[in-house]
């Protein structure tokens, strides 16, 4: 069964997700920054809607995914707040300067989330890594539940062969969620790669 997720930045988008039968929303702020941690008020509103699973973006700023210890501490605090507001999951991604998954600090944040317990998604920072096969194994080792990826390309449709390879490599150890440029016109095509979820 294919899970559907909608990226939402506003109350109206949350309402649309509920009306259209989307199963899960990824709640963010600052679309021009590529998504940052949303406000407490927006998290509360999204949580008040029945029948929607809620994943909250944990990203303290736009720009790269190389974070200082202070920023990681802030991200841990934002994960705790998301849990207090009733989120089902959190979404984050941390890299090293040489283009690999920052396993140590990602694993630290996974532990903070699972104390909830909340599900964890490693977001499209994954697509900035040098080697997607190695990066997938690294994300699996951190304990993340799923990874959001466009197969290393601008859109999921362009990265379709890599998505197919990642789905085969995952072998049920982690969920692969295809995202970026996903819509009604290509949803069936992307679902056929074997991914577990589509991120609209």
Summarised one tens digit per residue, pLDDT across range 98-110 is: 999 999 999 999 9
Encode the chain in three state secondary structure.
CCEEEEEECCHHHHHHHHHHCCCEEEECECHHHCCECCCHHHHHHHHHCCCCEEEEECCCCCCCCCCCHHHHHHHHHHHHHHHHCCCCEEEECCECCCCCECHHHHHHHHHHHHCCCCEEEECHHHHHCCCHHHHHHHHHHHCCCEEEECCCCCCCCCCHHHHHHHHHHHCCCCEEEEECCCCCCCHHHHHCCCCCEEEC
Partnered with residue 8 across adjacent β-strands are 27
Look over the chain and give the mean of its residue pLDDT values, rounded to a whole number: 97
Question: What proportion of the chain, given as a percentage, has pLDDT over 70?
Answer: 100
Exposed, middle or buried: residue 122 (CB in 10 Å: 0-12, 13-18, 19+)? Answer: buried
pLDDT over 80 at 1, yes or no: no
Alpha carbon separation from 98 to 117, 131, 199 (Å, rounded): 31, 11, 27
Residue 136's CB is within 10 A of a number of other CB atoms, namely: 23
Largest CA distance in the chain: 43
Average pLDDT over residues 37-43: 97
At 47-89, the pLDDT tens digits run 999 999 999 999 999 999 999 999 999 999 999 999 999 999 9
Query: Is the separation of the CB atoms in 27 and 19 below 8 Å?
Result: no
Residue 117 has pLDDT above 90, yes or no: no
- Tell me: the pLDDT tens digits for 12-35? 999 999 999 999 999 999 999 999
CA distance 87 to 58: 12
Given this model, what pLDDT does residue 116 score? Answer: 84
Residue 32's closest CA among 63, 6, 55? Answer: 63
Residue 45, pLDDT above cutoff 90: yes
pTM listed for this prediction: 0.96
- Which pair of tokens denotes residue 4? 């559907």
């Amino acid at each position: 069964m294919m899970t559907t997720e909608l990226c939402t930045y506003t109350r109206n988008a949350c309402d649309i997700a509920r009306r259209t039968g989307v199963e899960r929303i990824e709640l963010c702020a600052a679309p021009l920054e590529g998504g940052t941690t949303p406000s407490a008020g927006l998290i509360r509103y999204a949580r008040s809607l029945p029948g929607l699973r809620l994943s909250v973006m944990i990203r303290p700023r736009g720009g790269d995914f190389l974070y200082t210890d202070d920023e990681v501490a802030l991200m841990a605090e934002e994960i705790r707040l998301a849990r207090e507001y009733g989120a089902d999951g959190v979404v984050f991604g941390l890299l090293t300067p040489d283009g690999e998954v920052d396993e140590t600090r990602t694993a630290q944040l996974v532990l903070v989330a699972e104390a909830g317990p909340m599900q964890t998604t490693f977001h499209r920072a994954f697509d900035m890594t040098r080697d997607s096969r190695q990066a997938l194994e690294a994300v699996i080792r951190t304990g993340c539940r799923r990874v959001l990826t466009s197969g290393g390309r601008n859109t999921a449709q362009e990265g379709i062969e890599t998505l197919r390879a990642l789905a085969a490599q995952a072998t049920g150890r982690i969920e692969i969620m295809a995202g970026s440029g996903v819509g009604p016109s290509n949803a069936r095509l992307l679902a056929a790669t074997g991914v577990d979820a589509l991120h609209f």
